[in-house]
Structures are given as C-alpha cells and as structure tokens.
Amino acid sequence: MSSLRPSFMGIESMKQTMYAAQKSLDITGNNIANVNTVGYSRQRADQVSISVNASSLYFNTSRALAGQGAATSGITQIRDKLLDKRYRDLNSGTAMASIATENLKDIENVLDVFDTTGFYGIYSKFKDILSQFGTENTDRKELANVALEYGKQMCQSIKNYDTEIDKIHDQVRLNAETSLDKVNSIFEQIHKLNDQIKDAYVTSGDITVDSSELLGYRVNSEYGPNELKDSLNALVDELSTYGNVNLTENSDGTFDVEFANHLCVKSDKTFAKLEMAFYKGNTDVTKQVNDGDIDAKDCAMKFFFNDGTEMKGTESSLASGAMRGYLDMYNGAGVYATELGNEFDGASNGVPYYREMINALANTMAEAFNKACAAGDMFTSGSTDQITAENIKVSDDWKNDAMLITKNELGNVATGEELNNEYLNRIRAVIDKGLDFSRTTDSAATVDQSNMTIDQYVSYWENKLGQDISYTQSVYDTYNSMAFSLSNQRDSVMGVNMDEEGANLMQFQKWYNASARMMTALDEALDKIINGMGLVGR
C-alpha cells in the first residue's frame, strides 16, 4: 500500500516547471538578442528531472514522492573545442601566407622588369646605342653622350630598387612592432579575464571542495560565466592570427594560453611579454640600431619572451602566424644566407634575398663592364667598398669623358676621323657574355647563376619572384579556403540560428502554458477535496 502523497506537491512541481520553462524562454530571448554579437556562443538551459531521494531506498524515489517536476541545472555554451583548435591552426597559416604574399607582391611592383622606366627598359636602350656605333658613324660623340646618360639612368634605377626594397624592409619591421604590441595587449587582457572568470565561479558558488587541488576546490566548468568565456575565446581567436596558439582549461576555471609553444598566460596570475631585438652575428646590437649607429637592414630581427626564451621561426616554436611571416620576410635570405652570415634565416626568400639579387646585378654588371673598358672604370662605388645597389654610380672618368668606352689602355682613340671598334667591341661583348651572378657557394642553390647574361639574369629574378608569389598565394588560398569552411562549421555549432530559436520560442511557450494549465487543474482538484468532500448526506 502506497503512502499518501502531499497535497500541494503537484502545485509545487508545476511551479518549478514553470520556472524552468521561463528560464528557457529567457535564454532563447538572449540568443535572439545576441544574433549579431561578434564572438557570442549560443547558450542553452540544461533541464533535469527533480528527484527526492529516500535514504532507505538509496537513489530510488518512492512512488509517493515521484513527479517532482523539472529544474534548470545550468546555462551552458554550445561550442566545439576541436573545431576551435582546428580553426585557430588554419587561421595562423592563413595569416603567415598572407604576409608573405603581400610583401612579395610589393617587391614585384618594385622590380617590374617590363616597366620602361625601370632597369630593363633603360638597359635595352643602352644596348641599342652601343650597337649604333660604327666606323662610318659621324655622330659617335653624340651617341657616346647618350650611352653615358643611359649608364647614369641604369645606376639610378638600381639605386631606386634598393631604396624601395629598403622601404618594404622597414615596413615589415614597423608592422612586426605593431603586432608585437598587440600580442602583448592580448596576453594582458586574457590575464585579466582569467581573474574575473575565477572570481565569478567563486561568487556563484558553483564549485566543489577538492583537497587535491591547489586552491582546495574544483569548479563546474560545464557552466559558468559564459560571456567572459566568449570574450576570452574571441581574444584567443585574434591571437591565433599572430602565431600558433593552444588553450588549456584549469580546474579553477582559468585558462592557460600557449603561444609559439611557450606558456604565456598562466593560472598563477602571470603573463608573458614579447620583446624585439636586433642581432648582427651573435651580438645584440639593438641599442646601436635604435641610436642609428647601425642600419637595421644589416641585422636579423628576433623576438624574445621576457624570461629570455627566443621565439624562433621554426616548427617547434613559432610555426605559423603573422609574426612568423614577419620574421621570414625580414630575415629570409634564401641561398644568400651563408654569404650574409648566420644572423639571417636561410629558410625563406624574404626581403634580404631579393636585395642580394639586386646587389648581384649591380656588382657583377659593374665589374664586367669595368674589366671590358680598357681606358678605365665605367662604374664605381665612390669608395673602396664593394659595388652594391646602394652605392653604384658612373665613375668620374666616364662622366668626364663620354668617349671613354672607345679608348685604349692609354686613353687614346685611333688617329684620323675613323673609329677603331676594337675597344668598343669589348664593351659590346659584355651584353652577350655569361656572367657569374651567384655570389654564393651555398649548395642549396637550385639554379646555377654563374653563366647568365644580364638579360637572362633579369628574366630569372622575375621568374623566381613570380614562382615565390604563386607558391605563397596557393598556400594562402588553401589555408583561407579551409579556414572559411571551418568557420562556417563552427558558426553552425556556436552561432545563433533564428529559425531554430523561433522554434524553441514556440516550444518553450507551449511548455510554459501547459504547466500553467496543469497548475490550474491541480488547483481545481485540491479545491474539490477541500470544499467538496464530506458534504454527502448533510
């Protein structure tokens, strides 16, 4: 025989159910209100059946106490941690490829060989003028002056290349500095959010005593301060733009953040700070660079955490992200790394690589024409330094005597009005001669640049640059496409769907109305018991 159930238990049960229905309506409304909120994760009110346990029955509820209704156990976020991780990895790869592609395209705009005002166009005119010299040409002095003018323009165009490439190099450094400040700001913001999240758990009381934990308790991480978690996840998403990132949740509700495989935000209220330094060889020359004593373009740019750990552009450290892109573009010397010294990373073709290609053009071309000119040097650096793209110019000898290219070792031309082409032909021969542009003994060089004409070398760097851009662009397209797909998948999980929320709205409203109608029915039954029973026979 079952015991008599409490008279008002049904009404209490429906009251709790109406509370649960109302909370579900509230959360649905909150989702709808935040449909356009960036970084918002869809929330759900989790419902559980209320059960009153009888100690003698262990966890089985007696029939008399069954039917206690429903209650809201908590408000949870709808997120997929695996999708978050995959999206952030792809986002880092996209950013790295984007930096490389953008900077290489900037270099391409500088080194466009089809530009008639650039080196190739001027050099073509210089060749045409040389071909017009002849023994019967009475305008040879005028042609010599024109050749001299084109020689000046060739030097100026090469110097312009160097200047513009330096500007790209400087812009990479400035962008890296800006990104470094942004990364440090994100570290600090996550650190502050960690404190707020931990305090929110303690304030809510949703914690479990656990003496094995450092703080003596463990939080219920399934629920908690969802809006704070959204803010933190949004910051981690942004951080993934700058480098590879990993997120780990702790037992006290806080999060540890690894950036470039280095623990940067810890649960013990500490966070890292990134710093930039410049090295020449193994020597830190940051102060000299900042004071202007050393040109930053001759140095390697490095990043360090404030504990002294270097953030290297390697798979085991900074595997991807914008910061990796800046390191590759600023330091990447490709096959010229051996010649430039160990301060440059030879793993990529960055700004130093293409600067060295221009230096190779300036130096090799100048040496070849100087050797061919019997009467003196045509080009010079203006000092004892090696001729580079930065310092190349027409020599004073040629500048003062346009006919220098036609003279013999004594500085004389043939007697009479006729021109002796013997010495001029030496100059012409340089045009079709295979020259050594390699400037490196690195075995990693995949193309032999030791037997190219000037025309072939200019075409080579154009093709090489085009190949590098094509590769980085394809990498970017691949990463971007996959990241876009993952973003859509992530949004389908965590994003607010108005159709779904509309259906929930109707469902929870009907649930609330049915609970209210049930309470009315129970009230009528109770009224019958109180006011209608025991009246028969009176």
Q: In this predicted model, what pLDDT tens digit does every residue of 256-269 receive, in sequence order?
A: 999 999 999 987 77
Same domain, 47 and 92: no
β-bridge pairing 310-311 and 379-380: unpaired
Q: Is residue 17 part of a domain?
A: yes
pLDDT tens per residue across span 392-406: 999 999 999 988 888
Q: How far apart are CA 64 and CA 44, in angstroms?
A: 32
Degrees (nearest 5) of the Cα angle 96, 100, 106? 145
pLDDT for the residue 416: 43
- The strand pairing partners of 70, in sequence order, are 49
**Chain center to CA of 502:** 38
> What is the distance between the alpha carbons of residues 348 and 350, in angstroms, rounded to a whole number?
6
Is the model more confident about 290 or about 394? 394
Query: Which band of pLDDT confidence, cut at 50, 70 and 90, is reported for residue 489?
Result: very high
Q: Which of 309, 340, 371 is the last residue of a domain?
A: 340
| pLDDT band for position 49 (cuts 50, 70, 90) | confident
213 and 229 in a common domain: yes
Q: What's the pLDDT band for 417 if we cut at 50, 70, 90? A: very low
Q: How far is CA 417 from CA 131, 136, 138, 148, 432, in A?
A: 19, 9, 8, 21, 29
What's the pLDDT at 372?
A: 92
- In 133-184, the DSSP E strands lie at none
360 within domain boundaries: no
Mean pLDDT (the chain, rounded): 86
Bridge-based pairing of strands 393-394 and 43-49 is unpaired
**Predicted confidence (pLDDT) at residue 53 exceeds the cutoff of 50:** yes
Q: Is 428 helix (H, G, I), strand (E, B) or coil?
A: helix
**Domain end among 319, 340, 361:** 340
Whether 189 and 231 share a structural domain: yes
Length of the chain: 538
214 versus 127: which is more confidently predicted? 127
pLDDT of residue 51: 72
For residues 448-466, give the mean pLDDT: 87
Instruction: Kindly tell me if the per-residue pLDDT of 138 is higher than 70.
Output: no
Task: State whether 15 and 97 are in the same domain.
Answer: no
Which residues does 326 contact at the CB level (< 8 Å), separation at least 6? 99, 172, 173, 175, 176, 179, 301
Q: Select from 298, 315, 340 the last residue of a domain.
A: 340
Tell me how far apart the alpha carbons of residues 499 and 31 are, in angstroms, rounded to a whole number. Answer: 12
More confident residue, 87 or 292: 87
Q: 274-280 and 300-305: which strand pairing?
A: antiparallel
pLDDT at position 5 over 60: no
- What is the Cα–Cα distance from 344 to 334, expressed in whole angstroms? 9
Residue 480 in domain: no
CA distances from 29 to 18, 327, 491 (A): 16, 47, 19
**What's the alpha-carbon Rg for the chain, to the nearest Å?**
38
Stronger pLDDT, 525 or 180, i.e. the higher one: 180
Is residue 296 in some structural domain? yes
Buried/exposed code over 417-428 (b: 16+ C-beta within 10 A; e: otherwise): eebbeebbeebb
Mean pLDDT, residues 158-169: 94
Q: What domain count does the chain have? A: 2
Same domain, 194 and 311: yes
346 within some domain: no
Tens of pLDDT, residue by residue over 177-236, are 999 999 999 999 999 999 999 999 888 877 777 767 777 778 888 888 999 999 999 999
187 and 45 within one domain:
no
Does one domain contain both 99 and 18? no
Q: Is residue 61 over pLDDT 50?
A: yes
Same domain, residue pair 71 and 199: no
The verdict on 256 and 328 lying in the same domain is yes
Q: In this structure, are 317 and 203 located in the same domain? A: yes
Quote the domain boundaries for residue 262: 84-103+182-340
Asked if residue 298 is part of any domain, the answer here is: yes
Q: In terms of domains, do 90 and 215 share one?
A: yes
Nearest residue to 86 via CA among 473, 479, 476, 471? 479
Amino acid 322: pLDDT: 96
149: in domain: no
Out of 141-145, 242-246, 468-472, 533-537, which region has the weakest mean confidence (pLDDT)?
Answer: 533-537
- 150 in a domain, yes or no? no
Quick one: 54 and 99 in the same domain?
no
